[in-house]
Amino acid sequence: MIEPAAGLLRLALGLGAIFLVGYGFPAPTLPARERTRLEGVALSFGMGAVFITLWMLALALMGLPFSLPLILTPLLVLSGVILVIKRWLGKGRGRRSPTFIKTENRKPKTENPLWDWLFIALLALVILFAVLRAIFYPMWAWDEIATWGCKARVFFDSRRLDLSCIDAHNYYPNLVPLLLTYLYLCLGQVNDHLVKAVFPLWGTMLLVLLCSLLRRLGLNRTQALGTAAFFALNGTVFIVHLQLAYADLALAYFALGAAGLVYLWLKDQAPRGSLAVAAVFAAGMAWCKYEGPPLAGTVLLAAALSLVWLRPPGLGGRLLKLAIPASGLVAGYLPWKIYLIKHQIESGSDHVLNFYPGQFFKSLLFLPEGLFNPFHFGVLWPAAILALALCGRRLYNSPVIFLALFLAGNLVAIVLGYALAPTSAAEFPFYVRATLDRLLLHLTPVAALMIGEGLKEVN
Amino acid sequence: MIKAKVWLVRAVLLLWSVQLIWLTWHFAPEAGELVERAAGRRWGAAVRLEDPFYQWLQTLAEVIPPGATYIFVDDYEAGKEIEARYHLTPRKRVLLSPEVPASLLFYEVRQGKATFVIIRDRDKPPGPGVRAALDSPAFQRLDIPGPGLVLRVDYSRVRGEFYD
């Protein structure tokens, strides 16, 4: 009884340290007065994960072994110093920006507390199920034991980025394996069922972030909670990924953060410093999955195109400001690229080959199946399309166009990606079926933001 | 217009409610199993011990030294080689198909300095490479009960400098 309790305590402390590292760093860019407490928690988890794992990569580049003191001490000290300096400098001055007051406090909090509790109960039920499902079963799914979990185990055993016994996908970015390695270091052993608690936690942070973004978009608490419940309880893909040690949930979380904050900024509803936080989330996208950099690229591209189309005052300056999230993308992409070059690891040859028109046309048929099959995402995607239609003129004369461009652009990118995949004609349908739901999962939280916009139209 | 929009939202919510019922039905068996496991305290490592393949791998882990290289003979699609790699790490492994020709098997043994060959499915008729290995004095069959065959090999006695 004592051993499992000690394991849980060690895990809780390890997870707590991720929040602490992430809590200090955004202080200079996104001050506490600009965000709600829950929002701060949801953002700091992702930022902590990015900083800890990038620091572990830096240790690997310096040839230093992974150890808890070496990983945590510099980051926690730096985070603490930033917090102290910020508090000392900011004492007695500073006000919430007008956007904070406008978005957070304008709407009445709730329509009916009973609905709030119902949605909270539904979400709590999903999370409870996912937590038990995650920590009761050791890693078993294909990519858990073939890639992410296997790497974490090897990195923990060797205390370094040892890729010698993994002969496929060595070039995949390592945010998730390194985070698992860090948690194994906290646990003091490879415990591949307890460590999976991090994934339902990650999903919870995604839901909190989604709720807070929806609140900032102008929805009241009932509507925000309802949209989050609608997102979480639609089809099986999100619920299944809450229990798996895959990188897709992490990428969906980072994509929501980056796209959501950039969208708020386009709408002039973002708290001060949002672009800097979006930059860290773009870094997280680039560092957690091979599909991350192009996905982050589409956030920037959609934002730039929206600005050019809408021509707001100070267009040039606003376009230039997109360099902030772009720098995050580079910061998340470059260190791993340098490592790959330094160790002569070839990247991407098993994903991209030639353009195959046959595959292109076939994937045009598979995509609607993935979007509208209720088994995958329930009625989420039809609802998102309906929300798009409900927005009417706002779709092309307001920043809502950003959401439409991001979603539509990525659907096109998925089809093009399949057209480049090096698979045989016989294998292709299996390849699509094994990957399409995951690729769509990366976009679904942003589709939920779209649904939130549609809901506003009905208000 | 607003009325039509409200009705559309209601229609979506109705579909969602139906979908919620289906979702509950879909996950009910898993939820039931969770309750059973919680009641019987059979979770975590205990789940793995229920798998005979895992138990066999644990036996192999006691036989194969951590620094050794092994050849795993199986189809990639079966998904068992990734399980073996996961549990036998840090031992290095080379995956070969059950239909591997003798020349390639011997070449991989020699070049990879492999000391063990694991054939995952002992009931499957052996391919040409495995047949040649079973006939070769460099390969010694180990008596380990389980779903597959395990051969110890002295790679220095294997000729396999070149494979075309």
Do B55 and B39 sit in the same domain of this protein?
no
- Of B8, B20, B79, which is closest to A386 when you measure between CB atoms? B8
Domain span at residue A372? 2-85+118-458
pLDDT for res A37? 83
Residue B142 backbone dihedrals phi, psi, to 5 degrees:
-100, 145
Do B136 and B58 sit in the same domain of this protein?
yes
Residue with tokens 């995952």: B120
Closest-CA distance of chain A to residue B86, Å: 6
Chain B residue with Cα closest to A227 = B13
Question: What torsion, rounded to 10 degrees, do the Cα atoms A322, A324, A326, A328 define?
Answer: -150
- Taking a C-beta distance cutoff of 8 angstroms, is the pair B96, B75 a contact? no
In a domain, B107, yes or no: yes
Proportion of chain B above pLDDT 70, given as a percent: 96
Do B59 and B140 sit in the same domain of this protein?
yes
Question: What torsion, rounded to 10 degrees, do the Cα atoms A62, A68, A70, A76 define?
Answer: 120
In a domain, B143, yes or no: yes
- On the question of pLDDT at B163 being above 70, the answer is no
pLDDT for res B57? 96
Please report which confidence band the pLDDT of residue A104 belongs to, taking 50, 70 and 90 as the band edges: very low
pLDDT for res B124? 87
Do B12 and B90 sit in the same domain of this protein?
no
pLDDT for res A102? 46
Nearest to A220 by CA among A212, A229, A209: A212
pLDDT for res A24? 80
Report chain B residues whose CB lies below 8 A from the CB of A191.
44
- Looking at residue B96, the DSSP 8-state letter turns out to be E
pLDDT for res A165? 66
Do B19 and B74 sit in the same domain of this protein?
no
β-bridge pairing B92-96 and B69-73: parallel
Contact B23 A233 (CB under 8 A): yes
The whole-angstrom separation of Cα A112 and Cα A380 is: 24
- pLDDT tens profile A407-444: 999 999 999 999 988 888 888 999 999 899 999 999 99
Tally of structural domains, chain B = 2
Closest-CA distance of chain B to residue A383, Å: 7
| A269 contact partners, CB below 8 Å, separation of at least 6 | A99, A102, A103, A216, A217, A218
In a domain, B163, yes or no: no
pLDDT for res A459? 72
Contact B44 A149 (CB under 8 A): no
- On the question of pLDDT at A445 being above 70, the answer is yes
Please report which confidence band the pLDDT of residue B164 belongs to, taking 50, 70 and 90 as the band edges: low
In angstroms and rounded to an integer, the radius of gyration of the C-alpha atoms of chain A is 21
pLDDT for res A443? 97
Chain A residue with Cα closest to B27 = A236
Do B91 and B151 sit in the same domain of this protein?
yes
β-partners of residue B142 are: B150
pLDDT, mean over chain A: 90
In a domain, B162, yes or no: no
In a domain, B94, yes or no: yes
Nearest to A29 by CA among A124, A75, A97: A97
- Taking a C-beta distance cutoff of 8 angstroms, is the pair A111, A220 a contact? yes
What is the sign, positive or negative, of the torsion defined by CA atoms of A107, A108, A109, A115?
negative
In a domain, B164, yes or no: no
In a domain, A103, yes or no: no
Nearest to B72 by CA among B49, B105, B103, B111: B105
Q: Which pTM was predicted?
A: 0.93
Consecutive H or E run containing B147: none
pLDDT for res A84? 85
The whole-angstrom separation of Cα A76 and Cα A99 is: 31
- Of B12, B38, B83, which is closest to A379 when you measure between CB atoms? B12
- pLDDT tens profile A240-282: 999 999 999 999 999 999 999 999 999 999 888 899 999 999 9
Can you give the CATH number for the domain in which B133 is found? 3.40.190
In a domain, A96, yes or no: no
Which residue would you say has higher pLDDT here, A299 or A83? A299
Closest-CA distance of chain A to residue B43, Å: 5
Do B75 and B106 sit in the same domain of this protein?
yes
- On the question of pLDDT at A23 being above 90, the answer is no
Nearest to A67 by CA among A160, A137, A5, A2: A160
Closest-CA distance of chain A to residue B98, Å: 19
Size of interface A-B (CB pairs under 8 A): 94
Do B68 and B131 sit in the same domain of this protein?
yes
- On the question of pLDDT at B14 being above 80, the answer is yes
In a domain, A100, yes or no: no
Report chain B residues whose CB lies below 8 A from the CB of A136.
34, 37-38, 43-44, 47
Report chain B residues whose CB lies below 8 A from the CB of A384.
none
Do B66 and B37 sit in the same domain of this protein?
no
When scoring B6, B19, B48, B108 by the number of chain A Cβ atoms within 10 A, the one with the most, hence best to mutate, is B19
The predicted model gives B80-109 an average pLDDT of 92
Residue A106 backbone dihedrals phi, psi, to 5 degrees:
-75, -45
The whole-angstrom separation of Cα B119 and Cα B98 is: 8
pLDDT for res B86? 94
In a domain, A101, yes or no: no
Name the token pair of A123. 């979400």
The predicted model gives A130-153 an average pLDDT of 94
- Of B31, B37, B83, which is closest to A145 when you measure between CB atoms? B83
* Residue at A16: amino acid letter: G
Closest-CA distance of chain A to residue B132, Å: 27
Q: Where does chain B have alpha helices with state H?
A: 2-40, 45-49, 52-63, 80-88, 102-112, 128-135
Nearest to A243 by CA among B23, B83, B38, B34: B34
Report chain B residues whose CB lies below 8 A from the CB of A184.
none
Closest-CA distance of chain A to residue B56, Å: 16
Chain B residue with Cα closest to A226 = B13
Cβ count near A199 (within 10 Å): 24
- Taking a C-beta distance cutoff of 8 angstroms, is the pair A34, A102 a contact? no
Query: What is the CB-side half-sphere exposure of residue A420 using CA atoms within 13 A?
Result: 12
In a domain, A406, yes or no: yes
In a domain, B57, yes or no: yes
Residue with tokens 């009910």: B28
Cβ count near B2 (within 10 Å): 9
Report chain A residues whose CB lies below 8 A from the CB of B27.
129, 236, 239
pLDDT for res B74? 94
Closest-CA distance of chain B to residue A410, Å: 24
Do B84 and B138 sit in the same domain of this protein?
yes
Question: What torsion, rounded to 10 degrees, do the Cα atoms A359, A361, A366, A371 define?
Answer: 130
Nearest to A391 by CA among A450, A331, A330: A450
Report chain B residues whose CB lies below 8 A from the CB of A236.
23, 26-27
Do B149 and B77 sit in the same domain of this protein?
yes
β-bridge pairing B116-119 and B149-153: antiparallel
Domain span at residue B18? 2-43
- Of B19, B34, B83, which is closest to A132 when you measure between CB atoms? B34
Tally of structural domains, chain A = 1
The whole-angstrom separation of Cα A399 and Cα B116 is: 62
- pLDDT tens profile A155-212: 999 999 988 767 767 899 999 999 999 999 999 999 999 999 999 999 999 999 999 9
- Of B16, B38, B44, which is closest to A230 when you measure between CB atoms? B16
pLDDT, mean over chain B: 91
Residue B68 three-state SS: coil
Strand order in the sheet with B92-96: B92-96, B69-73, B116-119, B149-153, B139-142
Contact A390 B91 (CB under 8 A): no
- Taking a C-beta distance cutoff of 8 angstroms, is the pair B73, B118 a contact? yes
The 3 state secondary structure assigned to chain A is CHHHHHHHHHHHHHHHHHHHHHHHCCCCCCCHHHCCHHHHHHHHHHHHHHHHHHHHHHHHHCCCCCCHHHHHHHHHHHHHHHHHHHHHHHCCCCCCCHHHHHHHHCCCCCCCHHHHHHHHHHHHHHHHHHHHHHHHCCCCCHHHHHHHHHHHHHHHHHCCCCCCCCCCCCCCCCHHHHHHHHHHHHHCCCCCCHHHHHHHHHHHHHHHHHHHHHHHCCCCHHHHHHHHHHHHCCCCHHHHHCCCCCCHHHHHHHHHHHHHHHHHHHCCCCCCCHHHHHHHHHHHHHHHCCCHHHHHHHHHHHHHHHHHHHCCCCHHHHHHHCHHHHHHHHHHHHHHHHHHHHCCCCCCCCCCCCCCHHHHHHHHHHHHHHHHCHHHHCCHHHHHHHHHHHCCCHHHHCCHHHHHHHHHHHHHHHHHHHHHCCCCCCCHHHHHHHHHHHHHHCCHHHHHHHHHHHHHHHC
In a domain, A258, yes or no: yes
**Which residue numbers of A have CB closer than 8 Å to B's CBs?**
129, 132-133, 135-139, 142, 145-146, 149-150, 153-154, 157-158, 162, 164-165, 191, 193-194, 230, 233-236, 239, 374, 378-379, 382-383, 386, 390, 455, 457-458
A39 exposed, middle or buried (CB, 10 Å; 0-12, 13-18, 19+)? buried
In a domain, A95, yes or no: no
- Taking a C-beta distance cutoff of 8 angstroms, is the pair A71, A15 a contact? no
In a domain, A434, yes or no: yes
